[in-house]
Amino acid sequence: MISAEEALQLVRQYKVTLEVEEVALLKSLHRVLAQEVKADRDFPPFDRVTMDGIAIRAEDFLSGLRSFPIAQLQAAGAPQTSLDQAGTCIEIMTGAMLPRNANAVVPYEVCIIQDGIATIQAEQVVKGQNIHVQGSDEKVGATLIAAGTKITPAMIGTLASVGLSRVQVYSLPKIAICSTGDELVEVHETPLPHQIRRSNAYMLAAALLEEHLQANLFHLPDHPELMHENLSSIIQEHDVVLLSGAVSKGKFDFLPHVLEQLGLELVFHKIAQKPGKPMLFGTLPAGKIVFGFPGNPVSTFVCYHLYFRAWLQASLGLPPQQQSAQLAQPITYKPALTYHVPVVLRNEEGILKAIPVSTTGSGDLTSILKAKALLSLPTNKTEFKEDEWYPLTLL
Ligand SMILES: Nc1nc2c(c(=O)[nH]1)N[C@H]1C(S)=C(S)[C@@H](COP(=O)(O)OP(=O)(O)OC[C@H]3O[C@@H](n4cnc5c(N)ncnc54)[C@H](O)[C@@H]3O)O[C@H]1N2
Ligand code: MOO
Ligand SMILES: [Mg+2]
């Protein structure tokens, strides 16, 4: 049996190779950029006026002049004008190109305009004031966003600015979620006393939606031939298969055997951890990836968050997310297993404190209703003291 740390390292090594596809600008939100984004022109592209007011030559003001006849009006979006005559001004709007020969913009608030003459009441005017100089943010050709970055709304603004109406992004893996077990019925059905509803499949699908990933949902019966037949066609159609249940020691836990028949290259089966000990991970022919999450709801949820998300980050070329928090109360845990404790979080003067939530075990769906994260207590100790720092995984 491998350790939780080894399992994490291993899943990160089995990333899938994602193709590059082109999508419409807004569809690129939350996707991973597969191209470098460069400035197609200087940022800003011209000397941009930053206040509504008048454009003058600062020298005229310095020579004592205070009243400037208005020669022209220039709006944003109009071609550049020219301040040809010394001692005059051009009324100018925010976002307009600075007129040729002008070098300062005086806001309306410190001018009085009467009969076509602007009189400046400011104490001083400095050359270059209220002008956003061409190329002062970025020069044409500069890299604005590196490939491999997850696209945020702010980045959509930059992509739009440089004219990328279509964006190259890495394609998304095709994901299947399969629940297993003859005790499961559909959500809309009323279970008989010995049945339960298929909650894990929906919980996983929702967790994927939070990553902006869609999945197809399936159910596999507790029957080796039928499981083989169904799973074989599911694998053909998907890059990644997330399975829930049927990976432990039970008489109906057929998955490991069926997967082996389907060409599984096992990377590991069983991790020294609680919950989620019987988790399975491996590859299938044609570079497909399979995660076999233990069926207990908390185990499925915990293993998804610890291992699938680490795998996804690695496959998308994103750095691992590492965080830690302080245990808020002592815990004794004797088994030689990494104990992933469900916790809520509290910020105490800048220190993140993890407070364990009560749970009856990995069948306790309600514990993950309360928990916001997992605090992973390592195997090399049995006494975990208050204020000690441990790795944290957000749920
Ligand atoms: N003799 C042993 N028994 C068990 C061991 C062990 O080491 N030795 N490990 C236990 C642990 S830990 C876990 S976790 C479970 C994992 O079991 P399986 O992955 O084989 O899952 P199932 O047997 O199919 O189901 C377990 C449990 O989860 C419920 N379940 C399954 N799928 C769903 C679903 N989609 N939605 C809601 N609930 C689901 C299922 O009804 C069972 O109650 O094995 C222990 N046993
Ligand atoms: O590891 Mo199992 O996940 O405790 O129920
Ligand atoms: Mg079982």
pLDDT in tens, 251-299: 999 999 999 999 999 999 999 999 999 999 999 999 999 999 999 999 9
Cα(364) to ligand 2 centroid in Å equals: 10
Give kind and range of the element (H or E) at residue 140.
none
Rounded Cα gap, residues 139 and 135, in angstroms: 5
Region 21-38: what's the mean pLDDT? 97
Using 50, 70 and 90 to split pLDDT, how confident is the model at 184? very high
Q: What is the pLDDT of residue 367?
A: 83
CATH topology of domain 4-18+172-315: Molybdenum Cofactor Biosythetic Enzyme; Chain A (3.40.980)
Ligand 2 pocket: which residues have CB below 6 Å? 274-277, 294, 296, 299, 362
Q: Are 130 and 122 in contact (CB under 8 A)?
A: no
**What's the one-letter identity of residue 320?**
P
- Name the average pLDDT for the chain: 95
pLDDT in tens, 69-99: 999 999 999 999 999 999 999 999 999 999 9
Using 50, 70 and 90 to split pLDDT, how confident is the model at 359? confident
List the Cα angle 249/293/18 in 5-degree steps: 140
Name the residue at shortest CA distance from atom 39 of ligand 1: 295
Q: Is the pLDDT of residue 362 over 80?
A: no
Supply the CATH classification number for the domain 48-132. 2.170.190.11
User: CB-side exposure of 347: number of CA atoms within 13 Å?
Assistant: 2
- What CATH class is the domain 323-394? mainly beta
pLDDT in tens, 372-383: 999 999 999 999
Q: Which residues surround ligand 3, an ion (CB under 5 A)?
A: 248, 250, 253
**Domains of the chain, residue spans:** 4-18+172-315, 22-41+148-170, 48-132, 323-394
Q: What is the pLDDT of residue 8?
A: 96
Q: Which atom of ligand 2 is nearest to the CA of 299?
A: 3
Cα(308) to ligand 3 centroid in Å equals: 21
Region 45-60: what's the mean pLDDT? 98
Q: What is the pLDDT of residue 363?
A: 79
Q: Which atom of ligand 1 is nearest to the CA of 293?
A: 19
Q: What is the pLDDT of residue 391?
A: 97
44 cis-preceded (ω within 30 degrees of 0): yes
pTM for the full predicted model: 0.87
Q: What is the pLDDT of residue 369?
A: 86
Ligand 1 pocket: which residues have CB below 6 Å? 179-181, 183-184, 196, 198-201, 244-250, 253, 275, 277-278, 294-297, 299, 362
Helices (H), the chain: 4-13, 58-62, 153-161, 199-210, 224-237, 255-261, 297-303, 309-315, 365-370
Higher pLDDT, 18 or 378: 378
Q: Is the pLDDT of residue 49 over 90?
A: yes
Give kind and range of the element (H or E) at residue 390.
strand 389-394
Using 50, 70 and 90 to split pLDDT, how confident is the model at 60? very high
Q: What is the pLDDT of residue 322?
A: 87
Residue of 55, 62, 63, 107 lying closest to 82 (CA atoms): 55
Q: Is the pLDDT of residue 243 over 90?
A: yes
Rounded Cα gap, residues 279 and 319, in angstroms: 24
Region 326-343: what's the mean pLDDT? 96
Using 50, 70 and 90 to split pLDDT, how confident is the model at 364? confident
pLDDT in tens, 294-325: 999 999 999 999 999 999 999 888 888 889 99
